[in-house]
């Protein structure tokens, strides 16, 4: 039975490939392929689950494919099946099938018809990779695909300002969750000295002895997992991204943020429960996060004016309860709760436009103003305080901006002088000198070796922060990003005597190809438009759709799209940073955190948003 697991993962990928073959006007073929493929997966999965239950419902594990192997590390696809996988996979297939049928009519004659079905099928592929994952690497592949497709679907109405702006906001928090998951993967490599599978984590004795032996490092790993799950499931204080993500089509909001993607944080906690269940402080932390989210999200949902925002925060509140249930070990209840919440929110989002129309009609003909109590009592003041906090969504957006992103921007502006032509020439010469030093690293004094790799890592971090705030020239920003990443590779390679040239070449090959393709696209755009500034959204995708697509692929390759050489290279690079290299891992983490934001920011500002020429119609700011 284990061999059948790979079919349920790759059937949606087949549907995605097939859907690319049709033109946008062939709506029946596009939608037919989409819901037929998902329907086949749903039918096959249903039969498989029944057969699996009849045969005793034992845990299944399949080591599918090895990407990379050497003496110290092995990166491979691993598929896993238990009751959590069964529930999440079945609910996901059923909801996606129903939403695709609904979308066939809902998006009829929409200019992005094909793009929508392509993206949903890619999302469904990533979702299945995540829920069938048997190790952290496989889970991370699905996690990345979910982030990419989220960005594309939130910015689906790409000629409008707010969808594009909110897509960038959402992907910024998704990226933070990705980095936290990557850090937990990095630390687990050092602690277990292998690619640990979820089947091995079920060995309670092995896990407990491991935690007792490496308590501090294990606590760091678990904390990163919890933060990643908290962000993915929009728990407090990261809740504000979910209503922003509702800027996409209603059907994508239903399948993404109402039912499936938003519950993957709960799935991550379920999958790793055996790892952290003996750590009482983490159990208490998860309960506190869930309880705080449930209370705050409920208060916000009760006073919001838009129906999608109300549904988003209502779903967040229920997921907060699921966090508590997972921490208390009530896993069967969590699975039932997940299914009920997913189906309810999908239904609410799909019918919300109709219900809103009915309510407006009723308000017009049957309106009676509410009588307010003007007495200044303590209870009244307290109620008004929570009302204002709810209206402002507890200022979570402003809090995250001030605490998380503004410090990065301040540092980038402080060192902006390094973006001048003279400074970049000097930095390029220093990099070449670093390559020469790396060739003779065996003769370097240990003290100099230690200083140089930290210096190069610092330069790499500062360059990516400078690119993050660059607003004058997209080509300059792209060049700074390229130089930053090659400095990052040099910093890690210089530190490790065991770093193989093949590993460097693997990661660098992905970077070089992406850098060349992206530079070509930007040069072509400069020739066509004579202007590649980043001070606004220019909407060049209106006239240059092919160029926009090529540059988007380059961006995804640069930020290590799964199955590219740079994706495997990132895993290898992090593995070669020792667990006690605190400064190096901090600077490298900031580098990779800001990298995706800096790259996608260039794409969004150049190609998305209202077109710069006033002769074209300007869409509404919001969808």
257-273 confidence digits (pLDDT tens): 778 889 999 999 999 98
d(CA 510, CA 435): 19
The owner of tokens 């969504």 is: 393
In the chain, where the domains are located = 2-358, 415-607
d(CA 355, CA 233): 26
CB contact set of 364 (below 8 Å; sequence gap of 6+): none
Q: Is it the case that residue 215 has pLDDT exceeding 80? A: yes
554-575 confidence digits (pLDDT tens): 998 888 777 676 677 676 777 7
320-339 confidence digits (pLDDT tens): 999 999 999 899 999 999 99
367-425 confidence digits (pLDDT tens): 666 666 656 788 878 888 888 888 888 888 888 888 888 999 999 999 999 989 999 99
The lowest-confidence range among 190-204, 258-272, 413-427, 486-500 is 486-500
pLDDT band at residue 244 under the 50/70/90 scheme: confident
Distances 56 to 2, 134, 217, 331 between C-alpha atoms, Å: 14, 20, 37, 19
Q: Are 282 and 328 in contact (CB under 8 A)?
A: no
- Averaged pLDDT of the chain: 86
- Per cent of the chain over pLDDT 90 is 35
Q: Is it the case that residue 499 has pLDDT exceeding 60? A: no
Taking each continuous run of H as one helix and of E as one strand, the counts in the chain are 26, 2
The owner of tokens 């490496």 is: 214
Name the pTM for this structure: 0.91
pLDDT band at residue 617 under the 50/70/90 scheme: low
Closest CA to 400 of 197, 101, 177: 177
Q: Is it the case that residue 203 has pLDDT exceeding 60? A: yes
Q: Which residues pair with 79 in a beta bridge?
A: 62, 133
pLDDT band at residue 444 under the 50/70/90 scheme: low
d(CA 392, CA 304): 9
């Amino acid at each position: 039975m284990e061999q059948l697991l790979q079919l349920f993962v790759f059937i949606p990928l087949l549907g995605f490939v097939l859907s690319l073959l049709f033109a946008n006007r062939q709506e029946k073929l596009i939608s037919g392929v989409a819901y037929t493929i998902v329907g086949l997966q749903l039918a096959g999965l249903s039969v498989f689950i029944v057969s699996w239950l009849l045969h005793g419902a034992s845990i299944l594990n399949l080591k599918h494919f090895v990407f990379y192997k050497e003496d110290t590390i092995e990166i491979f696809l691993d598929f896993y099946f238990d009751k959590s996988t069964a529930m999440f996979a079945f609910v996901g297939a059923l909801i996606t099938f129903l939403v695709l049928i609904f979308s066939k009519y809902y998006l009829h004659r929409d200019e992005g018809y094909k793009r929508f079905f392509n993206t949903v099928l890619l999302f469904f592929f990533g979702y299945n990779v995540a829920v069938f994952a048997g190790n952290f690497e496989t889970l991370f592949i699905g996690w990345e695909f979910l982030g990419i497709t989220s960005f594309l679907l939130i910015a689906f109405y790409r000629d409008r300002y707010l969808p594009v702006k909110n897509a960038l906001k959402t992907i910024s928090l998704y990226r933070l969750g990705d980095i936290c998951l990557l850090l937990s993967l990095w630390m687990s490599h050092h602690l277990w000295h292998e690619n640990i599978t979820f089947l091995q984590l079920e060995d309670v004795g092995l896990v407990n002895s491991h935690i007792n032996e490496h308590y501090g490092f294990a606590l760091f790993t678990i904390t990163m997992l919890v933060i990643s799950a908290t962000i993915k499931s929009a728990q407090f204080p990261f809740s504000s991204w979910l209503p922003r993500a509702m800027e996409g089509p209603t059907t994508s909001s239903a399948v993404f943020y109402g039912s499936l993607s938003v519950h993957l944080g709960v799935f991550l906690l379920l999958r790793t429960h055996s790892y952290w269940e003996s750590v009482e402080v983490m159990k208490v932390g998860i309960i506190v996060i869930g309880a705080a989210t449930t209370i705050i999200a409920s208060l916000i949902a009760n006073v919001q004016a838009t129906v999608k925002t109300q549904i988003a925060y209502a779903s967040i509140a229920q997921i907060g309860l699921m966090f508590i249930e997972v921490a208390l070990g009530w896993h069967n209840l969590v699975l039932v709760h997940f299914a009920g919440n997913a189906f309810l929110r999908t239904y609410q989002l799909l019918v919300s436009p109709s219900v809103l129309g009915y309510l407006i009609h009723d308000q017009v003909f049957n309106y009676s103003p509410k009588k307010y109590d003007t007495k200044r009592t303590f209870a009244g003041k307290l109620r008004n305080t929570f009302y204002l906090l709810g209206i402002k969504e507890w200022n979570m957006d402003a809090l995250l901006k001030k605490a998380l992103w503004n410090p990065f921007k301040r540092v980038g502006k402080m060192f902006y002088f390094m973006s001048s032509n003279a400074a970049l020439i000097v930095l390029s010469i220093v990099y070449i000198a670093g390559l020469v030093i790396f060739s003779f690293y065996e003769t370097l004094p240990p003290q100099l070796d230690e200083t140089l790799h930290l210096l190069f890592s610092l330069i790499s971090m500062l360059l990516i922060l400078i690119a993050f705030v660059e607003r004058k020239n997209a080509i300059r920003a792209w060049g700074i990003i390229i130089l930053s990443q090659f400095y990052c590779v040099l910093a890690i390679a210089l530190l490790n005597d065991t770093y193989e040239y093949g590993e460097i070449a693997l990661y660098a090959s992905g970077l070089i190809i992406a850098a060349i393709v992206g530079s070509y696209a930007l040069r072509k755009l400069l020739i066509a438009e004579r202007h590649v500034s980043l001070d606004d959204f220019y909407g060049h995708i209106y006239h240059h759709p092919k160029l926009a697509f090529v540059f988007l692929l380059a961006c995804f390759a640069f930020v290590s799209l799964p199955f590219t050489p740079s994706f495997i290279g990132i895993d290898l690079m992090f593995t070669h940073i020792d667990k006690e290299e605190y400064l190096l891992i901090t600077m490298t983490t900031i580098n990779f955190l800001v990298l995706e934001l800096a790259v996608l920011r260039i794409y969004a500002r150049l190609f998305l948003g209202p077109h710069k020429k006033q002769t074209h119609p300007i869409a509404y700011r919001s969808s």
